[in-house]
Structure 1
Amino acid sequence: MNDQNHSLNKSSNNNLDNSLDKSFGQQSVSPSQRDQKIRSVFQLVAPRYDLMNDFMSFGTHRIWKRVFVNSIPFKASDIIVDLAGGTGDIARKLQHKGANVVVVDPSIEMMSAGKKTHSLAVSNIAALGERLPFTDASIDKLTISFGIRNMTSMTAALQEIYRVLKPGGQYYCLEFSRPMMPIRPFYNLYNQYIIPRLGALVAGQPEAYQYLIESIQRFPDQETMKALLEDAGFSDVSYRNLFFGIACIHVGTKKHS
């Protein structure tokens, strides 16, 4: 890719991220309003968040998360941060494998819900992804599962993730993505009509789940997300589709000095 094309791609990626920063579902909002509205969503859905994930995905999110955790190599001495870790399901899976992991999430309600429903405790820190409470180059690996799209600013969050990782440290992200064409129409219909109704029936929060679906629809596709990670400075960026691209694992490494 020549410099001119790279510059055009980077500008396009920045425009995409800026549009996410200033949106809440299909609404145009300021970044501060976006932050407040997202925090409100997770406060509302926290008590039944894990249950709703089972209903919405027919339990397949558990398979995706197991594949995700099994894809992360680590040493016992590694310090792992699970960003936007919510109720702690990824952190507990990593703990079961012997990892030293801490959950970072701005939603106290989500972390509290995890403590109430699970016997295995994880360490929790309430903090924003855009302002991580760690020193430069202090974290070996950082994971995030279905959370990067809910950052107030994805660009700022990726920059912070890069800052706190040690040189050679790795970023692992599990997120919804763009499914392959044969199943895309059915997937879109399911998201548009079924999930908000499930949100109303099971969680009593149809509006909150409408936002979550709209945030999935606006999220970058696999190649665009790969480019955003490269723009943030990551090297050896790759992705792996799960279930025909409905979900995707993105991996990037912080460059050595």
Structure 2
Amino acid sequence: MSESVSFGYEEVSPEEKTARVGEVFSNVAKKYDVMNDAMSVGMHRLWKDKFVRRVKPQPGEEILDMAGGTGDIAFRMEACGAKVTVSDINQDMLDVGIERAMERGIDTLVWSRQNAEELAFPSRTYDAYTIAFGIRNVTRIDKALAEAHRVLKFGGRFFCLEFSTTEWPGFKEVYDLYSHKLVPQIGKAIAHDADSYRYLIESIRRFPPMPEFEQMIRDAGFVRTRVEPILGGLVAIHSGWKI
């Protein structure tokens, strides 16, 4: 049988997933940050602040922010003095980030269109690798993790912020109802696109549970891995070291 991967609740070929995910993010790029505020009631800002505090970017450090198109994580790390390369497979998302950087007067970021599974950067280039709310949209997650490990220097650190599955009784059921029933309608009202947001919610449901994803990070070669659940695991910060 030919290889298949999940696109939301569908099983498709890897090539079709890559193409369809690209369409999703091209469709939502202009309204991506507005929708994040609407869907999370602004909490995504607090999650990202906490994430960057865990990364602890230092002045002069070389950091690769993968799937960071709109710049949310990069802007926070650049303010700490880090030298950040923002990479994304989707040019529309990068264009939004570049425009936002110009509006803020930030001209120190490097913007680079890259596929997380096949990075063009040399091995042992970066002090840290970050990816926020992007790993679940990668077609072959294991390849992306292997590439993250490759481009990190020895002693480099990996940090991933991603939705997971909350383990809080009661809250899980409420969130499932909200995400499946209301989020696509919010997407339709704000971004005029219910289908893209239906996929984004389905992709969360298909993402590996926290222990399984942590094992994938270990399998890629990282050590001293750690998982920090937020809201019982609705969101989680995963981390590891390359030694």
Q: What range describes the TM-score normalised by the shorter chain of this pair?
A: over 0.9
1:188-218 alpha-carbon deviations (Å, 9 max, x no partner): 1111101000010000110000110000011
Deviation at 1:28, TM superposition (A): 1.1
* 1:246 match: 234
Q: Percent identity?
A: 39
Q: Which amino acid aligns with 1:106?
A: I
- Scaled by the length of structure 1, what TM-score is found? 0.89
Deviation at 1:115, TM superposition (A): 2.5
* 1:105 match: 88
Equivalent of 1:212, from 200, 215, 221?
A: 200
Equivalent of 2:69, from 80, 86, 89?
A: 86
Deviation at 1:181, TM superposition (A): 3.3
Supply the distance in 1 between the matched residues of 2:110 and 2:60 (Cα, whole angstroms). Answer: 16
Q: Which amino acid aligns with 1:27?
A: E
SS at match of 2:236: strand
Supply the distance in 1 between the matched residues of 2:164 and 2:212 (Cα, whole angstroms). Answer: 10
1:146-204 alpha-carbon deviations (Å, 9 max, x no partner): 00001111011001111111111100000001102321111111111010000100001
Alignment of 1:173-188 (within 5 A): 173-182=160-169, 183-188=171-176
Q: Which amino acid aligns with 1:124?
A: W
Does 2:125 correspond to 1:142? no
Q: Which amino acid aligns with 2:86?
A: V
* 1:155 match: 142
Q: Which amino acid aligns with 1:57?
A: S
Deviation at 1:23, TM superposition (A): 1.5
Which one is further off, 142-151 or 177-186?
A: 177-186
Alignment of 1:186-197 (within 5 A): 186-197=174-185
Supply the distance in 2 between the matched residues of 1:236 and 1:116 (Cα, whole angstroms). Answer: 37
* 1:12 match: none
* 2:111 match: 124
CA-based RMSD of the aligned residues comes to 1.4
Supply the distance in 1 between the matched residues of 2:57 and 2:184 (Cα, whole angstroms). Answer: 38
Q: Is the 8 A contact 2:57 2:81 kept in 1?
A: no
Aligned residues: 237
Equivalent of 1:70, from 53, 61, 64?
A: 53
**Structure 1 unaligned blocks of 5 or more:** 1-17
Supply the distance in 1 between the matched residues of 2:27 and 2:58 (Cα, whole angstroms). Answer: 37
Supply the distance in 1 between the matched residues of 2:134 and 2:196 (Cα, whole angstroms). Answer: 15
